[in-house]
Chains A and B, each alone.
Chain A
Amino acid sequence: MNLQAADFKARAKEALNDTQLQRAVPFVQDRLRSGRVQAAEALGNVEEWRELLSEIRMDTIDNLDSYLEQLAGNVRANGGHVHFASKAADAVSIVSRIAEENGARKIVKAKSMITEEIHLNKHLEEQGLSVIETDLGEYILQLAGEKPSHIISPALHKRRGEIAELFSQAAGRKLSEDTSELCAFAREHLREAFMEADIGITGCNFAVAESGTVVLVSNEGNARLTTSLPKIHIAIMGMERIVPTWNELDLALTMLTRSATGQKISVYVTGISGPRQAGDLDGPEQFHLIIVDNGRSDILATAYKEVLKCIRCGACMNVCPIYRHVGGHAYGSVYSGPIGAVLDPLLEGYETAKELPYASSLCGACTEVCPVKIPLHDLLIEHRKDEVEQGYTPQMEKMSFGAFGFMASHPAVYSKAAKIASAGTTLWAKDGYISGGPGLLAGWTAGRDLPQPAKQSFRDWWKEKGGARDE
C-alpha cells in the first residue's frame, strides 16, 4: 500500500481494492475477537473486572507523578538507570548516547509500540547502528520496509507467499512457503543476532512501581532473549504504563491477554527488576529505563485523559468495522483502529490526523469491549467538536449546521424547510428514488439509492386526522 497517499480516504480506497488485505484482516479479526468473547465468558463477571481495572487505571493516571517517582526510585535502588524523555527526540538521543558510550554497534529489539511511536529504528540506523527486530511479525515487516498494521498482530496483512519471498531474499537461497521451514530460518538468523548484539531494546507492558520491575508479555520468548543475552538492556515505556503494585499487575495481565488474544495468560511473562546482581548466572550488566512523555502530560489536563488508561490490547481494533475494511495502514499512523483514531490526533495534531476522528460510524463496538472502559466513540465526537471549534471543518458544513440549528429551534421554519427540501429533491428523483445530487446527496447516492420524500409527511397526515396539538 502507498503509505504516502495524501489522506485517509485515499489510503482507505486503496485498502478496499487490495484483495489480499480484504481477506486477511477479517480472518484475523474474527479469530481474535472470538477468542476475546470466549475468554470473557469463561471469566464470567467480565463487567466487574472492567469496572475495577478502569478505576485502578484512572487512579494511577490521576497520581502518575508519585507512582513514577516511586518506580524510578526502585529501579535505581535495584541498580538500574532511569531517564525521563519529554519528547520523542529526547528518547532517541538517550538511546544513542548509551550506544555511543558503550561502543555498541548491534542492537536487537523486541516488539514495542512506543519505539514505533518515536521512530527509533530509523534514527538509530541513520547513526550507523544495526537494529534487528526479533518478534517474528516485526522481523517480517522490517525486511519488507513496512510499519505494523495491528498492535498485537503487526504483520497480519502479509501473505505467506510474500513472507517466503522476503525470507528467501534475506537467506540468499530459495525457501518454500512451509511454515516450519520459514520459522527455522528466522530462528537460526535471529539466534545469531542475539549472540552478537551489544544492546537489547524492549518496550514495557507494565512497570510495577512498588518493586521497580518492568513486565513484558509475549508469546515467542524473543523478549526474554532480548533482555538477557546482550550486555545492556534498555526498556522504553510510555509514562502511563505503570501499575502501583503486583496486585494491580495481576488484574491488568488478566485482562490484557484475554482481551488481546483470548489467552488466559501469554506464553511468557517476564519481570525485570534491574541488571545482573552479584552471583546471578545471567542478565545484562546495565539496565536502563527510559520513561517517555511525548505529549502525554498535555493529555492529562484534557477531556481525553481517559485514553491514558489504554493497555494496548487491541480489542477495539478487533471489533471495529472500519478497521476490518481498511486495515491498519490506512490510518497512516503508529496506532490504528479506534484507539489510533483517538490517540493519533492528540500525539500528532489535527494538521496530519484530522480525518481519523471521522473514520467511525460511532457504532460503539470499541467502547463495548475496551477492558479499561475508555469511551472511545465519545472521544471521537469530542475530537470532532474540537475540530469544529478550531476551524478544521469546511465552511460549507459549518453554515449548514448553523442553518440546521436555527431551523431546529424554530418549528414553523423547520416544517416549511422540510417541505421545500422534499419538493426540491424531486429534481433528482426517478421512480420514487434519488440516485444522484449535490453535496451530501452525492456521497449517499454514490453507492445507494435514496427514497424520495413521502407525498404526505407524517405531520400532514396527523393534522388531517385532526390530532394536532400545540399549533
Chain B
Amino acid sequence: MKVSLFITCLSDIFFPEVGRSVVSILERNGVEVDVPLTQTCCGQPAYNSGYVKDARKAAKQTIKAFQSSEYVVAPSGSCAAMVRHYYPDMFEGDPEWSAKAAQLADKTFEFTEFVVRVLGIDDVGAVCEDSAAYHQSCHMSRGLGVRSEPVQLLSRVEGLEMKELPYCQDCCGFGGTFASKMSAISEAMVDEKIRHLESTGANMLIGSDMGCLMNIAGRLRRTGKNIQTMHIAEVLAKGMAT
C-alpha cells in the first residue's frame, strides 16, 4: 500500500518530528510513504478568514500535488477536515475542479483514522511510561467525526495511563487567526482548558492537531506550567525500535 504524506505547514516548519514519527509508524506497518514536495498549504487560514479566492489557489495546488496518490494522510484533523468538507464546496459550479476536489476528499484521512480504519491496526507496539490526557480537537471530532480512533490507539500504548479530561469537547481557543485577532478571549479559553488539564493530574497532553497543541503549549510555557504536550504520532512512535 502506498501513502502520500500531507505534511501540513505547521508540522513542516515547526514540528518536523511529527512528520518523521508518522513516516516511521507507517513504514513499520508495511506502508510505502512518499511526500510530494509540490504540496504547500491546504488553504485553511485564508478560507476561514473569508479570503476564498486565495484559499482556492492553495486548494488547487494541493489537489494537483496529490492527484496521483492512492491515499493521502495528514497528521492533522483540521487540515483533513478542510480537504474533506470544504474543498468540494469551494469549487461548487466548477465541474472539473469539483470532481477533482471530491476525489481528493475521498482518499484523504487523518493519521489515526487511517491507521485504525484503513490499516485496521489499533496496537502499534508503542511503549510510554507516563500519564496523559487526550485533547479532542474541534475540527477533528466535529468536522471529521474522528473521536474514538486516537483513544483506541493510546489505550494500547504500554505503560501509558490515560486520564479523562473534563469538558474535553470544549475548544482550546486556537481557531487559527482567532488566537491572534481575539487574543484576550482566546487566552481565557486556553486558561480554562489548562485548569481542566491540571485537574486530571496528568503529566502530558496528547493531541492530533499541532495548532491546538501549539496554543496550549505556548500558554503553558508562558504561565510557567510544567505539563508536556505531544502529538499522538510522537507518542505512538515511542518505544519502537528504530
Residues in A lying within 8 Å of B, measured CB to CB: 9, 12-13, 16, 321-322, 325-326, 358-365, 367-368, 381, 383-388, 393, 397-398, 401-402, 404-409, 411, 414-415, 418, 421-422, 433, 435, 440-444, 446-451, 453-454, 456-459, 461-463, 467-471
Chain B residues closer than 8 Å to A321, beta-carbon distance: 170-171, 173, 189
Q: List 6 A-B residue pairs with CB atoms under 8 Å apart, sorted by A's residue number.
A: A384-B50, A388-B49, A408-B40, A411-B37, A433-B221, A446-B183
Q: A422-B13, A444-B180, A454-B15 are in contact. Are A469 and B214 (CB under 8 A)?
A: no
Residues in B lying within 8 Å of A, measured CB to CB: 7, 9, 11-17, 19-20, 33-41, 43, 45-58, 60-61, 65, 138-139, 142-143, 169-171, 173-190, 192, 214-215, 217-219, 221-222
Q: How far is the CA of A418 from the CA of B170 in the complex (A)?
A: 32
Select the residue from B60, B143, B186, B190 with max chain A CB neighbours within 10 A.
B186
Residue pair A12, B185 in contact (C-beta under 8 Å): yes
Q: How far is the CA of A433 from the CA of B224 in the complex (A)?
A: 13
Majority DSSP secondary structure for residues of A touching B: helix
Residue pair A401, B61 in contact (C-beta under 8 Å): no
Nearest A residue to B89 via CB reads A378
**Given A411-B61, A448-B221, A470-B38: 17 more A-B contacts, CB < 8 Å:** A325-B188, A359-B185, A365-B142, A365-B169, A381-B47, A409-B40, A411-B37, A411-B39, A440-B180, A441-B180, A443-B179, A444-B183, A446-B187, A447-B219, A448-B219, A454-B16, A457-B16
Q: How far is the CA of A405 from the CA of B219 in the complex (A)?
A: 30
Residue pair A381, B50 in contact (C-beta under 8 Å): yes
Q: A393-B50, A470-B38 are in contact. Are A456 and B16 (CB under 8 A)?
A: yes
Nearest A residue to B51 via CB reads A401
Chain B residues closer than 8 Å to A457, beta-carbon distance: 12-13, 16
Nearest A residue to B219 via CB reads A448
Residue pair A470, B36 in contact (C-beta under 8 Å): yes
Contact residue among B55, B182, B188, B214 (Cβ-Cβ distance under 8 Å from A359): B182
Min Cβ gap B77→A in Å is 12
Min Cβ gap A93→B in Å is 38
Chain B residues closer than 8 Å to A447, beta-carbon distance: 183-184, 186-187, 190, 219, 222
Contact residue among B52, B61, B222 (Cβ-Cβ distance under 8 Å from A408): B61
Q: How far is the CA of A189 from the CA of B20 in the complex (A)?
A: 71
Chain B residues closer than 8 Å to A463, beta-carbon distance: 37
Chain B residues closer than 8 Å to A461, beta-carbon distance: 16, 19-20
Residue pair A9, B184 in contact (C-beta under 8 Å): yes
Select the residue from A9, A362, A463 with max chain B CB neighbours within 10 A.
A362
Residue pair B55, A405 in contact (C-beta under 8 Å): yes
Min Cβ gap A381→B in Å is 6
Chain B residues closer than 8 Å to A408, beta-carbon distance: 40-41, 43, 46, 54, 57-58, 61
Chain A residues closer than 8 Å to B36, beta-carbon distance: 469-470
Chain A residues closer than 8 Å to B56, beta-carbon distance: 405
Contact residue among A393, A405, A448, A468 (Cβ-Cβ distance under 8 Å from B222): A448
Q: A408-B40, A448-B187 are in contact. Are A362 and B175 (CB under 8 A)?
A: yes
Q: How far is the CA of A402 from the CA of B192 in the complex (A)?
A: 35
Chain A residues closer than 8 Å to B20, beta-carbon distance: 458, 461
Residue pair A364, B19 in contact (C-beta under 8 Å): no
Q: How far is the CA of A401 from the CA of B176 in the complex (A)?
A: 14
Contact residue among A367, A448, A470 (Cβ-Cβ distance under 8 Å from B142): A367
Q: How far is the CA of A362 from the CA of B53 in the complex (A)?
A: 20
Chain A residues closer than 8 Å to B43, beta-carbon distance: 408
Q: How far is the CA of A443 from the CA of B182 in the complex (A)?
A: 8
Min Cβ gap B98→A in Å is 17
Q: How far is the CA of A12 from the CA of B184 in the complex (A)?
A: 8
Chain A residues closer than 8 Å to B17, beta-carbon distance: 454
Q: How far is the CA of A461 from the CA of B16 in the complex (A)?
A: 8
Residue pair B61, A365 in contact (C-beta under 8 Å): no
Q: How far is the CA of A435 from the CA of B218 in the complex (A)?
A: 9
